[in-house]
Amino acid sequence: MSSWSEKILLIGEEIILSRLVGIEGPGPLFRWIFKIPIFFFRIGLTPFGDHILLLTTIGRKSGKPRSTPVEYRTDAATGERIVIAGWGGRTDWRRNIQADPHVRVQVQRRIFDAVAEPLPAAEVADWLGTVLRINPRSKRYLSRWAGDAIDADNVQSLMDAANYFPSFRLVPVGKIQ
């Protein structure tokens, strides 16, 4: 952490995620707040750096495009984006991917089609361990969401927690715009 503002943001995130956002889902207020970045993507402003992408799936019931801002990481080896569903995978975008893995992805101003491939539990566990080492404060809310304590140095706890965080690798198909 290089600045006080980044530290304050992390503390704010920890408070919101560990105390205010529900275990079963974000609830109506946070669902609305979490959708705010869609507006910025649509008007061409993407102040989210390499943290949030806009994921567009096809609604499993409606058949219509559904866009959701999702936090992601970039796989250093492949350059592919990896997204993790919270709330035990009970997110609409995860359910839509299960029905049709073909998605559209916008990262800043780059747009591309991709196929969402499920990550094996071992990769999810490895990533959770990395997150816990980088940001030890995340242990509180990740453990809360998983329903059991998660420890970065306990491989079994990470493997158990991986079941609560279904994750996908977004493999580009075609040309990135």
pLDDT in tens, 138-171: 888 788 878 888 999 999 999 999 988 999 999 9
Q: Which residue has the tokens 């390499």?
A: 50
Give the confidence band of 31 by pLDDT, cuts at 50, 70, 90.
low
66-81 pLDDT, tens digit per residue, is 999 998 988 888 889 9
33-45 pLDDT, tens digit per residue, is 677 787 888 887 7
Give the confidence band of 83 by pLDDT, cuts at 50, 70, 90.
very high
Averaged pLDDT for residues 2-12: 62
CA distance 156 to 162: 10
Whether 84 has a pLDDT exceeding 60, the answer reads yes
Can you list the domains of the chain with their CATH numbers?
4-173 (2.30.110.10)
Structure tokens at 73: 């990481």
Averaged pLDDT for residues 43-54: 78
